[in-house]
């Protein structure tokens, strides 16, 4: 498994504001999108390109364009929706799937409740969007379901990860690529990332 931690001063700065419990919901959402834009630029750096010739106002020149079929973005509901706008800003023709999972608060086991994926997953790069990689249970289930639907080229993008979640994914899906803003210290007894940022979904949608 390949893990990339985006070491960028703007990511550090924005994560410090995202973590702050005093940050209001409107600013929290904006910061998630701003940080997501940086993560999106990094996570898409290996998309395949092809050479083309274009006419500038002055002359013909060779340049590069994306070669593959439109990528697929799969936010894990509901918190993953916060990362969807920045990815669509950079990839406006991307196809969007949805995967609904919630974590049982007692067992911490992911429970699926909704799934809708675009066709031709086997031919497209697929980006799973989930701000928090905590126990790794939900992320592992998301990867499992996408593989079962035919996906081969899978990348997970998260704001924060815990070592426990990374270890689980290493065991379950060693072929996965991960891009993350920071790796935090550990999980608490309830499966929350420490120091973390709280419940990303609750803070995004004002349901705390």
Structural domains of the chain, with CATH: 2-46+71-205 (3.40.50.2020)
Assess whether pLDDT exceeds 90 at residue 138. yes
- Residue 80 region by backbone torsions, left for phi larger than 0, else alpha for psi between -120 and 50, else beta: alpha
Question: Band of the pLDDT at 105, cuts 50, 70, 90?
Answer: confident
Question: Band of the pLDDT at 110, cuts 50, 70, 90?
Answer: confident
Neighbour tally for 202: CB within 10 Å? 13
pLDDT at 104: 76
Assess whether pLDDT exceeds 90 at residue 206. no
Assess whether pLDDT exceeds 80 at residue 69. no
pLDDT tens-digit readout, 192-203: 999 999 999 889
pLDDT at 106: 76
């Amino acid at each position: 498994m390949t893990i990339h931690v985006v070491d960028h001063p703007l990511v550090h700065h924005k994560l410090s504001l995202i973590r702050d419990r005093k940050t209001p919901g409107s600013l929290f959402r904006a910061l998630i999108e701003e940080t997501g834009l940086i993560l999106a630029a990094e996570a898409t750096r290996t998309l395949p390109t092809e050479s083309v010739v274009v006419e500038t106002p002055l002359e013909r020149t060779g340049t590069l364009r994306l070669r593959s079929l439109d990528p697929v973005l799969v936010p894990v509901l509901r918190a993953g929706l916060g990362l969807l706008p920045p990815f669509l800003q950079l990839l406006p023709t991307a196809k969007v799937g949805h995967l609904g999972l919630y974590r049982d608060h007692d067992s911490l086991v992911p429970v699926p409740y909704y799934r809708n994926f675009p066709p031709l997953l086997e031919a497209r790069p697929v980006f799973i969007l989930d701000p928090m990689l905590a126990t790794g249970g939900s992320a592992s289930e998301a990867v499992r379901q996408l593989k079962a639907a035919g996906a081969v080229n899978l990348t997970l993008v998260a704001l924060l990860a815990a070592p426990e979640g990374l270890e689980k994914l290493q065991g379950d899906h060693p072929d996965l690529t991960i891009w993350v803003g920071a790796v935090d210290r550990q999980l608490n007894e309830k499966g929350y990332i420490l120091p973390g940022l709280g419940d990303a979904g609750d803070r995004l949608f004002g349901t705390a």
